[in-house]
């Protein structure tokens, strides 16, 4: 077996100094990537954190996403600010969690005339967003990844990557717990106790005992993604959230190391992400009421395979390994397919003007995407600091995270 | 979904009890899909772990009719076809209930502490993996040109990919060794680290040479047979043994 010389390898001690411990207790509801990063950020700022997740950690949308570490190129034409943020965050994640990322770059492929016409608009939007995209001859792109359609019209290199949807957030969980956060999986938040107009406690129900526990706290953040509607209602808050599931199909065989995307405005079935020995085409989008148990649509599979063949001919002849779906937590309300909703995220204070009174001390963090988990957490933790009058700055850019393995290896049972 | 539905009786372990569900599943539906559907349909389904739904996170391992497998990659059609009843055993027709439905027993992975239902703390699978063991490996270029210069990466690492092992613990659960043993997943990681990082080879060989290293392995090979990722932990244990034999100082 060949030696892996040249593979980026980091050895480190995760031992960030917590300068000031404050006595404020924050309860985070939701153990996806967003909750993971938030539990870590708040712990680093000295808060006492308890996180509740009704199932296994990352069993909501997070563990099932497509695995694209977005450079932001996909969003550059539509929303420059989101694109820049993605670029900034991928650089941070590549530094603080290198072992959870297969970073090999990406290629946008123009397949037809419309795509080819879009290329100059795309490249200049990327550059304006700070994403160093550059057009390269198709022959050059195909020398890196010969699977790219030989009939491609134009090709553009971008700094995209692939990441492990489970191991990235688990590294944040490992860090949070190392700093003392209580991470409670298989423990559902069933109610929020509002006392004198303020969220004062969360009622938690561990599946192992079924006996309700009262988690007293000074602030509550719901990081429940597509479930933010039902959790918000526990505290009388109507969170504007649209669960929008999409299907993905994994075939056997690593067809490329680079992420391959269709050079066109974002649509369905236009990204192929490699992961270990698989290649994954995604995704689609529809809108549902209930984010529980989203199963893939059968029609989606045929459609996705056909679209994949346009980018990488022969994709569909590989054996299908798995088909699954996950629900996007789109912030906002929609009646259509949800594509008109932004991919931005927001921190909604339940006591903000216009909100139902009687639910101070709680916020809902929704929207965004897995690539920006750290930035989402930063913004929410800033909000908690402001609400509780704590002056600690965010420091999650600074430290390389411990391994996700530590999370389970250190679990003392 | 094409094809006739397959009648199944799921028997899911829940402590001393067993929760039973009778369903007709489309052939391509996985055990995980079925549990998800039952749960969202309001059924009281024993707890289970899941995350990626495509065989890459490693959380959904269970003993399915006695043999370790990932629930997200085991379909109704797999269950309706002849399958091994012990790791590496001959494929036999599925057992059926009186109503003709295929019996599917779901038990938690062995050697791990159960949280509830078939959900376990997977610590046993992780504990022996050496701290700092790299998870990235070289992705073989196979005749492709090197990746292009990258303005965002001052020190390009070359083509990378994750290790094949998804740390699911199936091998650990299947292993019949009953004395202190860091186990097949950990030893596979020890050997990969030795191969990838020569400077850590002595430390890795020392782990392999410890009394809970390769020694307790009885070459049952259940690990290699149940591994969903073709890691073949048994092969890595053999490679460690070979390396120890060549370097007597490491074992002494
Ligand atoms: C098809 C698809 C593909 C995607 N691809 C990508 C991609 O390639 N790259 C990318 O960056 N992003 C991608 N995304 C977006 C990304 O997956 C999500 O934005 C992100 O995972 C959301 O994380 P979250 O933590 O906010 O939500 P979730 O992961 O859903 O976490 C919310 C958690 O809250 C828990 N919960 C709910 N109610 C309760 C309760 N009452 N008590 C306790 N816990 C509760 C849920 O179980 C869940 O685990 C994709 C999304 C979809 C749908
Ligand atoms: S070696 Fe195979 S069976 Fe063992 S933990 Fe890794 S993937 Fe699972
Ligand atoms: S759910 Fe990830 S391996 Fe099955």
pLDDT (tens digit per residue) in A185-237: 999 999 999 998 899 999 999 999 999 999 999 999 999 999 999 999 999 89
The residue among A382, A413, A401 whose CA lies nearest residue A45 is A382
Contact B197 A322 (CB under 8 A): no
Ligand 2 proximity of B209 Cβ (cutoff 6 Å): no
The fold of A23-65+165-240+333-413 is FAD/NAD(P)-binding domain (3.50.50)
Kindly report the nearest CA distance between residue A351 and chain B, in angstroms. Answer: 32
Atom of ligand 2 nearest to the CA of B58: 8
Nearest CB neighbour to A276, from listed B29, B152, B162: B162
Domain definitions of chain B by residue range = 6-121, 123-251
Ligand 3 proximity of B53 Cβ (cutoff 6 Å): yes
The proportion of chain B whose per-residue pLDDT surpasses 90, expressed as a percent, equals: 93
In contact, A167 and A280? CB cutoff 8 Å: no
Least confident of A33-42, A184-193, A281-290, A341-350: A341-350
Contact A403 B131 (CB under 8 A): yes
Q: For each of chain B's 252 residues, which pLDDT tens digit applies?
A: 446 999 999 999 999 999 999 999 999 999 999 999 999 888 799 999 999 999 999 999 999 999 999 999 999 999 999 999 999 999 999 999 999 999 999 999 999 999 999 999 999 999 999 999 999 999 999 999 999 999 999 877 799 999 999 999 999 999 999 999 999 999 999 999 999 999 999 999 999 999 999 999 999 999 999 999 999 999 999 999 999 999 866 444
- Number of A to B CB contacts under 8 A, please give it: 206
3-class SS letters over chain A: CCCCCCCCCCCCCCCCCCCCCCCCEEEEECCCHHHHHHHHHHHHCCCEEEEECCCCCCCCCHHHCCCEECCCHHHCCCCHHHHHHHHHHHHHHHHHCHHHEECCCEEEEECCHHHHHHHHHHHHHHHHCCCCCEEECHHHHHHHCCCCCCCCCEEEEECCEEECCCHHHHHHHHHHHHCCCEEECCEEEEEEEEECCEEEEEEEEECCCCCCEEEECCEEEECCHHHHHHHHHHCCCCCCEEEEEEEEEEEECCCCCCEEEECCCCCCCCEEEEECCEEEEECCCCCCCCCCCCCCCHHHHHHHHHHHHHHCCCHHHCCEEEEEEEEEEEECCCCCCCCCCCCCEEEEECCCCCCCCCCECEEEEEECCHHHHHHHHHHHHHHHHHHHCCCCCCCCCCCCCCCHHHHHHCCCC
Nearest CB neighbour to B134, from listed A99, A103, A293: A99
Ligand 3 proximity of B35 Cβ (cutoff 6 Å): no
Give how far Cα B113 sits from Cα of A52, A74, A209, A364, B169, Å.
20, 44, 15, 34, 12
The CATH code belonging to domain B6-121 is 3.10.20.30
Q: What is the pLDDT of residue A341?
A: 63
Task: Tell me: cis bond preceding A283? Omega within 30 of 0 counts.
Answer: yes
Ligand 1 proximity of A46 Cβ (cutoff 6 Å): no
Judged by a CB distance cut-off of 8 A, whether residue A8 touches chain B is yes
Contact B47 A250 (CB under 8 A): no
Atom 31 in ligand 1: which residue has the minimum CA distance?
A: A32
Atom of ligand 2 nearest to the CA of B232: 1
Q: Which CATH class is domain B123-251?
A: mainly alpha
Domain A77-162+242-331 indexed as CATH 3.40.50.720: no
Q: Has residue A8 got a pLDDT over 60?
A: no
- Domain A77-162+242-331 in the same topology as domain A23-65+165-240+333-413: no
Q: What's the B70 CA to ligand 3 centre distance in angstroms?
A: 6
Nearest CB neighbour to B54, from listed A8, A274, A324: A324
Nearest CB neighbour to B115, from listed A4, A132, A186: A186
Q: What ligand has the least distance to the C-alpha of A55?
A: 1
Ligand 3 proximity of B47 Cβ (cutoff 6 Å): no
**What is the three-class DSSP state of B72?**
helix
Which chain A positions have a beta carbon within 8 Å of B131's beta carbon?
A: 403
Q: What is the pLDDT of residue B2?
A: 47
Q: What's the B113 CA to ligand 3 centre distance in angstroms?
A: 19
Q: Which of A32, A244, A344, A364 to mutate to test the pocket of ligand 1 (most atoms within 8 A of CB)?
A: A32
Q: What is the pLDDT of residue B8?
A: 98
Query: What six digits make up the tokens of B210?
Result: 């410890």
The residue among A278, A220, A238, A253 whose CA lies nearest residue A67 is A278
Judged by a CB distance cut-off of 8 A, whether residue A252 touches chain B is no
Q: Has residue A1 got a pLDDT over 60?
A: no
Q: CA B70, CA A250: separation in Å to the nearest integer?
A: 16
Domain definitions of chain A by residue range = 23-65+165-240+333-413, 77-162+242-331
What are the φ/ψ torsions at residue A190 (nearest 5 degrees)? Answer: -105, -20
Predicted model pTM: 0.96
Kindly report the nearest CA distance between residue A293 and chain B, in angstroms. Answer: 5
- Chain Cα centroid distance, residue A401: 17
| pLDDT grade for A5, boundaries at 50, 70 and 90 | very low
What is the radius of gyration, based on Cα positions, of chain B? 21
């Amino acid at each position: 077996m060949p030696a892996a010389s040249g593979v980026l390898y980091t050895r480190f001690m995760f031992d960030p100094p917590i300068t000031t411990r404050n006595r404020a207790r924050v309860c985070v509801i939701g153990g996806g990537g967003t909750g993971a990063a938030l539990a870590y950020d708040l712990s680093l700022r000295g808060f006492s954190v308890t996180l509740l997740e009704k199932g296994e950690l990352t069993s909501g949308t997070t563990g099932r996403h497509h695995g694209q570490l977005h450079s932001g190129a996909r969003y550059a034409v539509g929303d420059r600010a989101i694109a820049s943020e993605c670029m900034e965050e991928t650089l941070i994640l590549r530094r603080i969690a290198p072992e959870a990322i297969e970073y090999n770059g990406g290629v946008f492929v123009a397949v037809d005339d419309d795509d080819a016409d879009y290329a100059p608009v795309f490249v200049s939007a990327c550059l304006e967003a700070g994403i160093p995209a550059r057009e390269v001859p198709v022959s050059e792109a195909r020398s890196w990844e010969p699977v790219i359609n030989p009939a491609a019209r134009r090709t553009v290199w971008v700094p995209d990557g692939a990441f492990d949807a489970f191991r990235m957030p688990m590294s944040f969980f490992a860090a949070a717990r190392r700093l003392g956060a209580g991470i409670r999986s298989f423990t559902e938040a069933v109610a929020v106790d509002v006392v004198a107009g303020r969220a004062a406690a969360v009622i938690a129900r561990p599946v192992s005992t079924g006996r309700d526990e009262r988690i007293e706290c000074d602030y509550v953040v719901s990081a429940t993604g597509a479930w933010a509607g039902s959790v918000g209602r526990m505290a009388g808050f109507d969170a504007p959230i649209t669960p929008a599931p999409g299907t993905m199909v994994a075939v056997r065989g690593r067809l490329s190391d680079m992420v391959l995307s269709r050079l066109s405005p974002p649509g369905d079935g236009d990204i192929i992400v490699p992961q270990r020995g698989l290649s994954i085409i995604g995704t689609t989008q529809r809108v549902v009421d209930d984010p529980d148990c989203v199963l893939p649509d059968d029609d989606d599979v045929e459609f996705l395979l056909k679209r994949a063949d346009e980018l990488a001919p022969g994709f569909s002849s590989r054996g299908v390994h798995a088909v699954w779906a996950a629900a996007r937590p789109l912030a906002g309300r929609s009646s259509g397919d949800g594509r008109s909703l932004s991919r931005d995220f927001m921190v909604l204070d339940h006591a903000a003007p216009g909100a139902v009174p009687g639910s101070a001390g709680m916020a809902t963090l929704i929207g965004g995407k897995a690539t920006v988990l750290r930035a989402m957490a930063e913004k929410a933790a800033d909000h908690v600091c402001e609400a509780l009058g704590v002056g600690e700055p965010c420091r999650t850019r600074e430290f390389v995270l411990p391994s996700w393995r530590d999370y389970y290896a250190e679990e003392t049972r | 979904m094409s094809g006739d539905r397959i009648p199944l009786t799921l028997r899911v372990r829940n402590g001393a009890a067993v929760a039973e569900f009778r369903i007709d599943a489309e052939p391509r539906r996985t055990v995980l899909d079925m549990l998800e559907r039952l749960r969202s349909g309001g059924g009281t389904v024993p707890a289970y772990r899941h995350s990626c739904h495509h065989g890459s996170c490693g959380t959904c391992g269970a003993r399915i009719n006695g043999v370790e497998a990932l629930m997200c990659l085991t379909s109704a059609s797999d269950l309706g076809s002849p399958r091994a009843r012990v790791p590496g055993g001959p494929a036999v027709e599925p057992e059926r209930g009186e109503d003709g439905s295929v019996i599917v027993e779901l038990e938690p992975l062995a050697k791990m502490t159960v949280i509830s239902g078939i959900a376990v703390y997977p610590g046993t699978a992780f504990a022996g993996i050496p701290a700092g063991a790299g998870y990235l490996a070289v992705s073989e270029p196979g005749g492709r040109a090197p990746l292009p210069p990258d303005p965002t990466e001052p020190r390009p690492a070359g083509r990378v990919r994750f290790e094949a092992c998804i740390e699911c613990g199936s091998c650990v659960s299947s292993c019949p060794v009953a004395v202190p043993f860091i186990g097949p997943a950990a030893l596979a990681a020890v050997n990969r680290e030795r191969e990838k990082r020569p400077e850590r080879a002595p430390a890795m060989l020392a782990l392999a040479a410890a009394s809970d290293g390769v020694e307790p392995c009885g070459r049952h090979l259940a690990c290699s047979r149940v591994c969903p990722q073709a890691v073949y932990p048994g092969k890595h244990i053999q490679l460690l043994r070979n390396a120890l034999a060549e370097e007597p100082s490491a074992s002494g």
